[in-house]
Amino acid sequence: MLIDLSGRTALVTGSTQGIGRSIAAGLASAGARVAVNGRRQESVEAAVAGLSEETGSDRFIAAPGDITTDEGARQVTQAAPEVDILVNNLGVFGATPALEITEEEWRRYFEVNVLAAVRMIRAFLPRMKDRSWGRVLNVASDSAVVIPAEMIHYGVSKTALLGVTRGFAKDAAGTGVTVNSLIAGPTHTGGVEDFVYELVDRELPWEEAQRRFMVEHRPQSLLQRLIEPEEIANMAVYLSSPLASATTGGAVRVDGGYVDSILP
């Protein structure tokens, strides 16, 4: 399939590292101009420079700002005022015993994992509808469906994000704008490496630690390994393209078969 996003502008939140960075690279490789977002100016500029060198592309622009705040969101929209493709990737996760999760942590997870996405959708969806074309993609997680015992606050926030997706897809019905969730499975990022070592012996070499983590904590994965960020990005690029014009209101799985379901 030929995916051509030439002439389109994308914004990927939380894209200085991990899955977001890979999605930004994939969109640029397909021809899109991509706004890279993070909280700090320095990290965003470093990511833009690194992505430009790695991809041989000059399609990246800096859009720093903490989108969990109104002021930060304004900074981002000023840097990227016209967005055709919005990828809400920003998220936090971590292991905490269920009864030890404080109300403050519950609120933080909803601010970052849910309300930041809502804030960005409200900022960009109206103009997409006016132009009769747009893509909104919310990066969710298998944890939205299979709530993990070690981080129920994360799982529940991602469940809420699935509801946000379906609701805004209905708002955009018939406009040419699609709104979807991408259900990412256990993915190999720096943050996940730290998370794995919270649950298994830190003295283990990485390959053995990963294997033990999958066996002990994610045994239902059919892939039986962590997913690489580029594999998530491939689906994100497709859902951002004209080829996915009939897919909206959905929760599309890139989970390595982790969710035990015959439905998408």
pLDDT one-digit tens code per residue, 85-105: 999 999 999 999 999 999 999
Please pick, among 109, 154, 197, 238, the residue that the annotation labels catalytic.
Answer: 154
Q: What percent of the chain has pLDDT over 90?
A: 95
pLDDT, tens digit, 9 for 90 and up, residues 193-220: 998 999 999 999 999 999 999 999 999 9
Residue 67 has pLDDT above 90, yes or no: yes
**Count of other CB atoms within 10 angstroms of residue 54:** 11
> Which residues, at least 6 apart from 254, have a Cβ–Cβ distance to it below 8 Å?
182, 183, 184, 185, 227, 231, 232, 235
Q: Domains in the chain, please, with CATH?
A: 9-187+227-254 (3.40.50.720)
Cα separation, 192 vs 230, in Å, equals 15
Residue 264 has pLDDT above 80, yes or no: no
Where does the pLDDT of residue 150 fall: very low under 50, low under 70, confident under 90, or very high at 90 and above?
A: very high
Where does the pLDDT of residue 73 fall: very low under 50, low under 70, confident under 90, or very high at 90 and above?
A: very high
pLDDT, tens digit, 9 for 90 and up, residues 248-259: 999 999 999 999
Task: Please tell me the predicted confidence (pLDDT) of residue 141.
Answer: 97
The question of whether 197 is a catalytic residue gets the answer no
